[in-house]
Amino acid sequence: MRLDGKVIVIPGATSGLGKNAALRFAAAGAHVVFGGRRESAGNETAAEIAAAGGSSVFQRCDVTKSSDVAALVDTAVSRFGRLDMAYNVAGVPGDAFVKFAEYDEAQWLDTISINLTGMFYCMKYEIAAMLKNGGGAIVNMSSVAGLGATPGGAGYVASKHGIVGLTRTAALDYAAEKIRINAIAPGVVKTEMMEWGITQTPDLEAQMLAHQPIGRLGTMDEITNAAMWLCSDAASFVTGATLSVDGAYLLV
């Protein structure tokens, strides 16, 4: 898939699925303006993109700060003249494997603040920029936890369901203005977040595999493929959708 000359913002791309997407969108010819909290990891990713002949700008961005998000979007517009696409990936697992009544209140607020309020800030500023060029495409990172539920993950599950709702309401608000807004709901993919989960519950990977009709975990490229398709004109009639990319995880 080619996305030559298109401009994308990816907040939260210093590791995992966001980093994979930054590398892949750049390899497809897009100008990638990406954010994250870790400056050294961001600079390393930018160097990898440059070494592969791609175009990117890294800027420090904490999605819980609306001013950081606004500044990241401003950088895309000032450097490349417009914003065509956005992929909102930043997220944290929060407390996991903690039953509801024991769920830590500070963890709840932190998880909602990053995963849900951060998503709201990203969409708000991206949409404002896209309105100026008469359209665009946004892909929001939900999860199978945003369509189903996992035990012991109140903050994560609620925030990922909330992202499905934000996606739907914004898609309705801007369908006529040619801004398509979709979400993806990945199943289990081996990234740093998953490695962390395995440190908390050593047999997590085996448990996940047992619950995976396709017989394996997903790869980062498979998730990025879905995001690229939803961002591209090939998905021109798709908006307000949440696409499961999960090897049928949700069906069992």
Ligand X SMILES: NC(=O)c1ccc[n+]([C@@H]2O[C@H](COP(=O)([O-])OP(=O)(O)OC[C@H]3O[C@@H](n4cnc5c(N)ncnc54)[C@H](O)[C@@H]3O)[C@@H](O)[C@H]2O)c1
63 binds ligand X (CB under 6 A): yes
How many residues lie near ligand X (CB under 6 A)? 28
Binding of ligand X at residue 157 (CB under 6 A)?
Answer: no
Phi and psi at 7, nearest 5°, equal -110, 125
> Residue 192, interface with ligand X (CB under 6 A)?
yes
* Residue 10 in contact with ligand X, rule: CB under 6 A: no
Q: Is 193 in the site for ligand X (CB under 6 A)?
A: yes
104 CB neighbour count, 10 Å cutoff = 14
Looking at residues 85 to 104 of the shown chain, list those that interact with ligand X (rule: CB under 6 A).
89-92
Question: In the chain, count of helices (H) and strands (E)?
Answer: 9, 7
Residue among 125, 156, 174, 249 flagged as catalytic: 156
- Strand ranges (E), 132-251: 136-141, 179-186, 242-245
Indicate the helix (H) or strand (E) that contains 25. Answer: helix 16-27
Residue from 139, 186, 227, 239 in contact with ligand X (CB under 6 A): 186
Please report whether residue 181 would count as binding ligand X according to CB under 6 A: no
Longest dimension (CA), the chain: 51
The least distance separating ligand X from the CB of residue 123, rounded to whole angstroms, comes to 14
User: CB of 63: closest distance to ligand X in angstroms?
Assistant: 4
Q: Does 189 bind ligand X (CB under 6 A)?
A: yes
For residue 32, what are the β-bridge partners? 8, 56
CA-to-CA distance for 158 and 150, rounded, in angstroms? Answer: 10
Q: Helices (DSSP H) in 175-249: which residue ranges? A: 192-200, 204-210, 220-231
Establish whether 156 is a catalytic residue.
Answer: yes
Contact between 18 and ligand X (CB under 6 A)? yes
Candidate ranges 43-51, 56-64, 167-175, 227-235; the one touching ligand X (CB under 6 A): 56-64
Beta strands in the chain (DSSP E): 7-11, 31-36, 55-60, 85-88, 136-141, 179-186, 242-245
Closest CB 65 distance from ligand X, rounded Å: 8
| Site residues (vs ligand X, CB under 6 A) | 11-12, 14-18, 36-37, 61-64, 89-92, 114, 118, 141, 143, 186, 188-189, 191-194
> Which residues are tagged catalytic?
156
